[in-house]
Amino acid sequence: GVAWGQTKAQKQAAGYDRAARATVLHQANVYISADANSQRISLVTPGHEVVVIQRSGPWVKVFANTDAGDEASEDDSNVPEVGGDDVPTPASGWVRDKGVVGPETAGGDSILFGAAANFEAEAEQPHAPKGAAEAAHLLYKRVPDYFPDSPLAAEAAWRAADIRWRLEKLDVSTLPSAKEQDAYLRPQIYEGAMKKVMKAYPGSSFAARAAYEMLDNKLCGDWQGLPKCPEMETGLYVKYAKQFPDGPKAAEALYNATYRQGVVVTMYLVQEDRKKSEAAAGRTVALAEELKAKYPKSDYAARAAAIAYRVQQGIPVFGNDRD
């Protein structure tokens, strides 16, 4: 028998031909023989990998779920696969030759991307089917994997990383530690997939998006009414906007910095530190003007202008604004 805890290199050495790798677009039963009446031995869910061993009429013989625990072994052994622990043990058997997509499938990159996008849309519905988000994540992941030269590869890699990030962020947000002021007091969201996007597609809009999303791991859980956090976060957003000025998140980052400086104006007033409050007011106005100069078409420019106006009018941006 083959040991299943193998690295990709070991798999290739063991004769796993790249062309033999494939995934399924729908739930596929694995049967003990090429016969729908034979015993079912496993189930392959969308996006999980199989290795095609042979074909026989409408049937394909596969090693199923060869990627169990794949995510974890990639970078970080203590990070679970998105779907948790219920990954079936790999098994050799037969599946119907339907919806099996691999590197040799004509137009396979579009098919995988489209199937992933459909699952992602389902996952965003109020009563999302169980497993839709994970299926989207895995199917997107297969696009750069099987079709590295596809024009869809960069966006698919980003979307796969983004779905995983959002699922983990949701998990972290339900923990008591989510309210901690300092980021290091709560579990960090796994960065491996985002860092891969940045490394594989430097200078792309997707690298800029990945860098923006990773700021989540540095932000405070709760400001607790103190200026320390919004001051620190202002710095993070300003630095980000300098680093990725042409990225799709630059205007939003400058807006976030403007808003935080507006908040700080009020916090320092509460602490009766008029000097620091006035300095923050000056920074709020300067950031809003920078945003308008650099990204005049963005609605974030107008939103920042409204924050700056409130500050200049002495209306609190944070807390109770009734006079």
Q: Which of 96, 94, 101 is nearest to 30 (CA)?
A: 94
pLDDT recorded at residue 222: 86
pLDDT recorded at residue 16: 56
Q: How far apart are CA 3 and CA 141, in angstroms?
A: 24
Q: 21-59: buried (b, 16+ CB within 10 Å) or exposed (e) per residue?
A: bbbbbeebebbeebeeeeeebbbbbbbbbbbbeeeeeeb
Question: What are 64's two structure tokens?
Answer: 């199923």
> Mean pLDDT per 10-residue run, the chain (323 residues)?
44 58 95 94 93 92 76 44 53 92 96 98 93 96 97 98 95 83 83 96 97 95 91 98 97 98 95 96 98 97 97 88 60
Q: How far apart are CA 306 and CA 291, in angstroms?
A: 12
pLDDT recorded at residue 72: 44
The secondary structure of residue 124, as a DSSP letter, is T
Task: Report the interhelical angle of 250-270 vs 228-243 (nearest 10°).
Answer: 160
pLDDT recorded at residue 9: 45
Question: What are 98's two structure tokens?
Answer: 């339907």
Judge contact between 136 and 163, C-beta under 8 A.
yes
